[in-house]
């Protein structure tokens, strides 16, 4: 879940400091979403990508991160300006934020399984990993993201008085879901969630690793992709252990509470959204090629009124292998 309580405004924060922090996070949000938006545009513009299950899962991860980042930055700015939000509106934002947070590790597990099928069961890859099934899988990912949090919403509706939903609160999960049972349930569900995802990554990695020893460089490239997924998952885990790390750092460096909270916010909520799409997007040679051509075309638009449109080519056999092995 998102740890928005790290943004609580302390009265010692000067106007200049608060303004600087918000300018930094808003600038990062705009920059990251522009890059990710370019990836999304490139994906939908070329059939090479939007008929490939691997790229469909990747772009779903990118869109998911864009939604999560936008809400996280919006709540950060609100915490410094309005300070509180209407409970109903806060609940709506947090539900989406929690959905997208829980989607990320499951999406990574799905991408790892797709690589496993492509390398270890290549003859059945085109039968198992169809476009239709990929979109069904994305629907399942969202359902799995909803399962842990929907009971919390029902308990909230059943236990809180009607007036509570018309009041204003500081918009964080702990402020909204105040029942102690929900906090314990959250910790257990996170542990189960991450355990299943880690087991999936370990299984796919070692199966691909054994295949790579007796196969070509494509399998080794896929193995490295699984390692990237593991690195991404480690960054996602900061979201779950952020409060514990903050408590430890605040205990050791109590005089730097504001700096610790802001640094933790950037590392937990912004940095993972920046690293993973760029690493995956630039690492893939085919995606990077189309992305560069698109960016060059955008630059030329400022210099000339004409811009040569992209040509849609059918991928060669080598490119197709790169897609499968990524």
The token pair that represents 225 in the structure block:
């992709």
Average pLDDT on 79-83 reads 89
For 15, 90, 145, 156, 204, the CA distances from 177, given in Å and listed in that order, are 31, 11, 17, 7, 36
Q: Where do the structural domains in the chain lie, given as residue ranges?
A: 4-325
Out of 7-21, 71-85, 198-212, 308-322, least confident range: 308-322
The reported pLDDT for the residue numbered 275 is 75
Average pLDDT on 176-191 reads 83
Whether the CB-CB separation of 194 and 169 falls below 8 Å is answered with no
Q: How far apart are CA 95 and CA 1, in angstroms?
A: 10
Map residue 169 onto helix, strand or coil.
strand
Q: How far apart are CA 240 and CA 227, in angstroms?
A: 20
* CATH class entry, domain 4-325: mainly alpha
The reported pLDDT for the residue numbered 179 is 82
For 59, 115, 145, 193, 218, the CA distances from 140, given in Å and listed in that order, are 16, 19, 9, 14, 29
Give the dihedral sign, CA 252/258/261/267.
Answer: negative
Say if residue 86's pLDDT is above 90.
Answer: yes
Residues 126-155 have pLDDT tens digits of: 999 999 999 999 999 999 989 889 999 999
Decide which of 153 and 244 is more confident.
153
């Amino acid at each position: 879940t998102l740890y928005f309580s790290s943004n609580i405004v302390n009265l010692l924060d000067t106007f200049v400091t608060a303004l600087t922090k918000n300018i930094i996070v808003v600038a990062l949000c705009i920059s990251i979403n522009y890059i990710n938006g370019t990836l999304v545009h490139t994906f939908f513009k070329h059939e090479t990508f939007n008929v490939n299950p691997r790229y469909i899962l990747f772009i779903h991860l990118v869109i998911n991160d864009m939604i999560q980042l936008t809400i996280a930055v919006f709540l950060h700015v609100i915490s410094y300006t309005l300070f509180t939000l209407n409970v109903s509106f806060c609940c709506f934002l947090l539900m989406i934020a929690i959905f997208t947070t829980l989607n990320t590790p499951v999406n990574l597990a799905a991408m790892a399984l797709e690589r496993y099928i492509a390398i270890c069961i290549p003859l059945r890859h085109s039968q198992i990993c169809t476009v239709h099934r990929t979109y069904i899988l994305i629907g399942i990912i969202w359902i799995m993201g909803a399962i842990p949090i929907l009971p919390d919403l029902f308990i909230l509706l059943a236990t809180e008085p009607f007036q509570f939903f018309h009041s204003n609160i500081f918009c964080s999960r702990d402020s909204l879901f105040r029942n102690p049972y929900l906090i314990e349930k959250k910790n257990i569900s996170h542990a189960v969630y991450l355990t299943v995802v880690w087991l999936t990554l370990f299984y796919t990695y070692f199966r691909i690793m054994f295949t790579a020893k007796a196969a070509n460089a494509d399998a080794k490239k896929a193995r490295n992709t699984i390692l990237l997924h593991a690195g991404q998952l480690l960054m996602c885990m900061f979201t779950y252990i952020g409060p514990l790390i903050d408590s430890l750092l605040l205990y050791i460096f109590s005089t730097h509470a504001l700096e610790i909270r802001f640094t933790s916010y950037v590392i937990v909520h912004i940095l993972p959204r920046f690293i993973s799409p760029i690493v995956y997007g630039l690492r893939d040679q085919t995606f990077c090629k189309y992305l560069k051509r698109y960016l060059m075309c955008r630059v030329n638009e400022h210099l000339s009124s004409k811009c040569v449109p992209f040509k849609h080519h059918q991928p060669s056999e080598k490119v197709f292998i790169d897609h499968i092995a990524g």
